[in-house]
């Protein structure tokens, strides 16, 4: 039998080993997923609401479960800051960072303020969801939402922000920031 010599660059070998290690860690993480995660749309005891599904973290952030509280009454507010762009509130997927940017902005942002003031089951880390978080909720648990338009924390321009219509699954960005729409707080649970 003829012997074949293969030489691999140290950097290439390192990347192959790292990729395999990451793959094994991902399988281990799947095996370690909590067995007490309630079904989609079910109340999650102690978490402040209902399981709206697993959302993939971006840019190295961990995946998280989106928790949607059941409200006793619907609240409406303007998005706020009409005519001004809020730096840091344009993420399509990170409602928590958008909400923080809106609250730190010198302009008033009533929808973000209302969402951030919500508390349930002792949790006070609620926020105004981003566009994609509302899309996850609309796909997984539309029955938990009023059949109307809800503000997202994702800004579209100086004059408008994204909103999600739960009566038909419509995503829009043409609504003026000064129009009152429904506000639905959400929070994250990282297992």
| Residues 52-85 pLDDT 10s | 999 999 889 999 999 999 998 999 999 999 999 9
For residue 17, what pLDDT band results from cuts at 50, 70 and 90? low
pLDDT value of position 10: 62
What is the number of other CB atoms lying within 10 angstroms of the CB of residue 160?
18
**173 pLDDT above the threshold of 70:** yes
* CA-based nearest residue to 40, from 144, 126, 148: 144
Domain residue limits, the chain: 43-189
Q: Output the pLDDT for position 29.
A: 46
- 3-state helix, strand and coil shares in percent for the chain, rounded to the nearest 5: 25, 25, 50
Q: Contact at 8 Å (CB) between 142 and 53?
A: no
Asked if the model's pLDDT at residue 135 lies above 50, the reply is yes
Q: What is the C-alpha separation between 177 and 119, in angstroms, rounded? A: 25
Q: Which of 33, 53, 187, 62 is nearest to 115 (CA)?
A: 187
pTM, to two decimals: 0.81
Chain segment 22-50, per-residue pLDDT in tens: 554 554 444 445 578 999 999 999 999 99
């Amino acid at each position: 039998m003829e012997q074949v010599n293969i030489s691999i660059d140290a950097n290439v070998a390192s990347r192959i080993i790292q990729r395999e290690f990451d793959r094994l860690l991902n399988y281990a993480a799947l095996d370690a997923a909590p067995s007490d995660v309630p079904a989609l749309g079910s109340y999650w005891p102690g978490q402040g609401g209902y399981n709206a599904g697993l959302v993939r973290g971006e840019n190295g952030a961990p995946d998280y479960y989106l928790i949607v509280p059941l409200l006793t009454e619907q609240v409406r507010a303007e998005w706020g800051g009409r005519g001004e762009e809020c730096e840091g509130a344009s993420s399509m997927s990170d409602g928590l960072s958008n909400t923080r940017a809106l609250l730190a902005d010198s302009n008033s942002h009533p929808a973000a303020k209302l969402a951030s003031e919500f508390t349930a089951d002792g949790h006070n880390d609620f926020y105004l969801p981003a566009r994609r978080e509302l899309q996850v909720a609309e796909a997984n648990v539309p029955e938990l939402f009023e059949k109307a338009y809800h503000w997202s924390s994702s800004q579209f321009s100086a004059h408008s922000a994204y909103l999600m219509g739960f009566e038909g699954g419509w995503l829009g960005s043409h609504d003026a920031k000064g129009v009152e729409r429904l506000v639905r707080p959400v929070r994250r649970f990282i297992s």
